[in-house]
């Protein structure tokens, strides 16, 4: 790790909360005012509710790097990572010039959804506050997953205004590097990337050590994911995820990712997932004494039981819901997605390979915590959907009964979570260091290559398809 990057990361201050949308907008203004010679601030689009989408472009290198915060508004570590990266690039001319990139920073690409999470941004370590103010849009309302995918199964062309804005930026700057900043809840840092370059994977893995966080050594989100090296995963494609949904008996309601879209320009995309609550067990590669099939089966069984309880509770109100809110759409989507997750991992449990593979402590930990993440999220979303009905005056017996049942489940699951998680308290600064470090590491790696960036990905740069490049 070069000394100048280490020194830059060391200057990131302690952080104890996440910024609001208004605070992020004000930070962009301050950044541009402080370095008008270096920072170009411009509007790139408009959100569905009329919020300006803005981007700061910094420097004048011969390659371009695009860094996007908030593609999922329930994952706000990237808000701070973009802010701190912008400050570093403006204050360290030598580092910026050595890397040789023009940086394009979007602190929050979905401000409408971010505003619906702001209740927990100011008290992020309070798990109950986090869940009660939690909002994650339905999949077809997520900026990250609504780029065109013009194939079956899973044909998708319903781009959001925010997605169109991001697509225009990608097409305009043709980035060599794109960093999409995400975060998880429990465990360690891991990266998805569109490049299978082993040297890049090593750099990304080593970057985690700069933050003093565990490197999450397990695949637990989507079973179609392939491992490049521990803690660095090849990003699943829309085709793979659509096929997984079809195998579970449903249809994919999402499109391609920003990484796939940027790939047409040869971009190397890195998605850095940093934890809210780190736990060293996520990095423990020792055998846990059980098979992978047993570990996954236990997690799936808890998920199935939890979702049965949730379905029983929520279904009391199904015939009495009247208001088309974002929370209701999110709840409907989450109930469908839960079946896809369960179906995907159930197929793994039934495979002979899983029965013969020893599980690690990291894998055991991952599948023990996965039910906490999903069931608490869905319970919190259900409460927000039901409370929205009540706020509009729709309070029949079914809505009241459903809310009481979901509240009881949430209280039980929160008590259980408090008893076993987390092993460490939240470190927002460490998570931000991990994301900024990853962005600088991938820029340094790609910038040092003499070959065209498209060749680094191991795939040819496709000819643009007019039907998929034109914003819808």
What HEC string does 352-401 produce? HHHHHCEEEHHHHHHHHHHHHHHHHHHHHHHHHHHHHHHHCCCCCHHHHH
Complete DSSP assignment for 204-250: HHHHHHHTT--B-----S-TT-EEEETTEEEPPPHHHHHHHHHHTTS
pLDDT number for residue 466: 38
pLDDT of residue 456 exceeding 70, the answer is no
CATH label of the domain that carries residue 145: 3.40.630.10
Q: What are phi and psi of 217, to 5 degrees?
A: -110, 60
Three-state DSSP state, 251: coil
**pLDDT, mean of residues 430-454:** 86
340 & 444 share domain: no
CB 226 within 8 A of CB 130: no
CATH label of the domain that carries residue 297: 1.20.140
pLDDT number for residue 450: 53
Q: What pLDDT digit, counting tens, does each position of 62-107 carry? A: 999 999 999 999 999 999 999 999 999 999 999 999 999 999 999 9
Lowest mean pLDDT among 113-122, 153-162, 239-248: 239-248
431 & 415 share domain: no
Q: Which residues is 106 bridged to in the sheet?
A: 68
Please report how many Cα atoms fall inside a 13 Å half-sphere around the Cα of residue 145, on the Cβ side.
Answer: 21
91 & 39 share domain: yes
Residue 147, token pair as written in the block: 């780029």
CA 467, CA 147: separation in Å to the nearest integer? 12
**Angle value at C-alpha 56, between 467 and 192, nearest 5 degrees:** 60
341 & 199 share domain: no
227 & 265 share domain: yes
For residue 213, name the pLDDT band (cuts at 50, 70, 90): very high
pLDDT of residue 155 exceeding 60, the answer is yes
Residue 31, token pair as written in the block: 């950044």
> What's the sign of the alpha-carbon dihedral 274, 278, 280, 281?
negative
For residue 461, name the pLDDT band (cuts at 50, 70, 90): very low
Q: What strands, in cross-sheet order, belong to the sheet with 177-187?
A: 39-46, 52-58, 101-106, 63-69, 177-187, 268-278, 190-193, 232-234, 226-229
Q: What pLDDT digit, counting tens, does each position of 135-144 carry? A: 999 999 999 9
pLDDT of residue 457 exceeding 60, the answer is no
CA 441, CA 239: separation in Å to the nearest integer? 29
**pLDDT, mean of residues 321-332:** 98
CA 430, CA 173: separation in Å to the nearest integer? 30
pLDDT of residue 460 exceeding 80, the answer is no
Domains in the chain, number: 2
Residue of 376, 402, 405 whose CA lies nearest to 390: 402
pLDDT number for residue 378: 98
Complete DSSP assignment for 78-110: HHHHHHHHHHHHHH-HHHHHHHTEEEEEES-S-
**pLDDT, mean of residues 22-43:** 98
pLDDT number for residue 254: 94
232 & 272 share domain: yes
Q: What pLDDT digit, counting tens, does each position of 375-428 carry? A: 999 999 999 999 999 999 999 999 999 999 999 999 999 999 999 887 668 899
188 & 308 share domain: no
Please report how many Cα atoms fall inside a 13 Å half-sphere around the Cα of residue 439, on the Cβ side.
Answer: 34
**pLDDT, mean of residues 448-464:** 45
pLDDT of residue 38 exceeding 70, the answer is yes
Express as a percent the part of the chain with pLDDT over 90.
90
335 & 444 share domain: no
Domain-terminating residue out of 385, 404, 420: 420
pLDDT number for residue 250: 86
Q: What secondary structure letter does DSSP report for 319?
A: G
CA distances from 434 to 19, 86, 162, 440, 445 (A): 18, 15, 26, 10, 16
59 & 108 share domain: yes
Express as a percent the part of the chain with pLDDT over 70.
94
153 & 275 share domain: yes
Domain with 327, as residue range(s), is: 284-420
Q: Which residue has the higher pLDDT, 189 or 454?
A: 189
pLDDT of residue 166 exceeding 50, the answer is yes
pLDDT number for residue 192: 98
215 & 317 share domain: no
pLDDT number for residue 1: 66
71 & 204 share domain: yes
Query: pTM for the whole thing?
Result: 0.94
For residue 251, name the pLDDT band (cuts at 50, 70, 90): confident
pLDDT number for residue 425: 81
CA 161, CA 190: separation in Å to the nearest integer? 29
Q: What are phi and psi of 133, to 5 degrees?
A: -105, 15
Residue of 50, 51, 56, 88 whose CA lies nearest to 69: 56
């Amino acid at each position: 790790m070069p000394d100048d990057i280490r020194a830059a990361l060391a200057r990131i201050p302690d952080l104890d909360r996440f910024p609001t949308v208004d605070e992020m907008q004000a930070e962009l203004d301050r950044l541009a005012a402080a370095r008008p010679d270096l920072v170009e601030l411009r509007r790139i689009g408009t959100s569905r509710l009329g919020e300006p989408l803005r981007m700061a472009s910094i420097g004048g290198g011969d390659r371009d790097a695009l860094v996007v915060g908030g593609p999922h508004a329930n994952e706000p570590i990237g808000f701070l990572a973009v802010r701190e990266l912008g400050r570093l690039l403006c204050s360290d001319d030598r580092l910026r010039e050595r890397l040789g990139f023009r940086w394009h920073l979007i602190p929050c690409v979905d401000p409408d959804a971010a505003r619906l999470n702001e209740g927990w941004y100011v008290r992020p370590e309070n798990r109950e506050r986090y869940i009660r103010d939690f909002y994650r849009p339905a999949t077809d309302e997520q900026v990250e997953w609504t780029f065109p995918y013009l194939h079956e199964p899973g044909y998708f062309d319903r781009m959001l205004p925010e997605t169109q804005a991001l697509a225009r930026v990608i097409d305009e700057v043709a980035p060599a590097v794109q960093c999409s900043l995400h975060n998880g809840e429990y465990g360690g840092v891991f990266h998805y990337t569109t490049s299978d370059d082993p040297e890049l994977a090593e750099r990304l893995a080593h970057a985690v050590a700069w933050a003093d966080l565990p490197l999450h050594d397990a695949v637990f989100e989507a079973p179609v994911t392939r491992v490049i090296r521990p803690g660095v995963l090849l990003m699943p494609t829309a085709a793979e995820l659509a096929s997984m949904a079809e195998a579970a008996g449903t249809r994919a309601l999402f499109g391609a990712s920003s990484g796939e879209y940027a790939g047409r320009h040869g971009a190397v995309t890195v998605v850095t997932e940093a934890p809210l609550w780190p736990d060293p067990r996520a990095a423990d590669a020792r055998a846990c004494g059980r098979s992978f099939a047993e570990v996954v089966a236990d997690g799936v069984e808890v998920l199935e039981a939890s979702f049965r309880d949730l379905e029983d509770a929520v279904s009391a109100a199904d015939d009495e819901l009247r208001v088309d809110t974002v929370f209701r759409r999110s709840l409907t989507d989450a109930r469908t997605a839960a079946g896809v997750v369960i179906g995907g991992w159930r197929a793994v449990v039934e495979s002979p390979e899983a029965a013969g593979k020893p599980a690690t402590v990291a894998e055991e930990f991952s599948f023990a915590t996965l039910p906490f993440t999903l069931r608490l999220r869905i319970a919190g979303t259900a409460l927000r959907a039901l409370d929205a009905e009540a706020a509009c005056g729709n309070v029949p017996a079914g809505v009241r009964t459903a809310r009481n049942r979901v509240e009881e489940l949430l209280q039980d699951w929160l008590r259980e979570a408090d008893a076993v998680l987390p092993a460490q308290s939240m470190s927002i600064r460490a998570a931000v260091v991990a994301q900024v470090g990853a962005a600088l590491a991938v820029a340094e790696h790609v910038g040092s290559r003499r070959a065209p960036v498209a060749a680094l990905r191991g795939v040819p740069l496709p000819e643009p398809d007019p039907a998929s490049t034109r914003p819808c």
